[in-house]
Amino acid sequence: METKTPPISFSIGKIICSFFGHRFRVSNIITDHIREYKCDCCGEELTDTANGVVAKLTPRFRETNAFLAKIHERRSKRVLSEAS
């Protein structure tokens, strides 16, 4: 049986970031305290976690952030409508 090896992903951006560091920018604002970041050079994505640590944006974190954004949007709309 032949085993498959994963393809090696080569990126100039990853090499540049390994030497000079990442250039992260905010790519998505989830709530007032949680944001998603993306490196302009290599495309690596990070997010703020519930305990204030920045971690890699995994599919689980992406799903959690989408849920939090939905809740935050509903609450923001409710507060605005109650203030009127």
Residue range 4-17: mean pLDDT, rounded: 73
Give exposure, 57-81, as e/b (b: 16+ Cβ within 10 Å). Answer: beeebeebbeeebeebeeeeeeeee
Residue range 55-72: mean pLDDT, rounded: 95
Q: What is the pLDDT of residue 78?
A: 84
Q: Is the confidence at residue 69, as pLDDT, over 80? A: yes
pTM of the predicted model as reported, rounded to 2 decimal places: 0.77
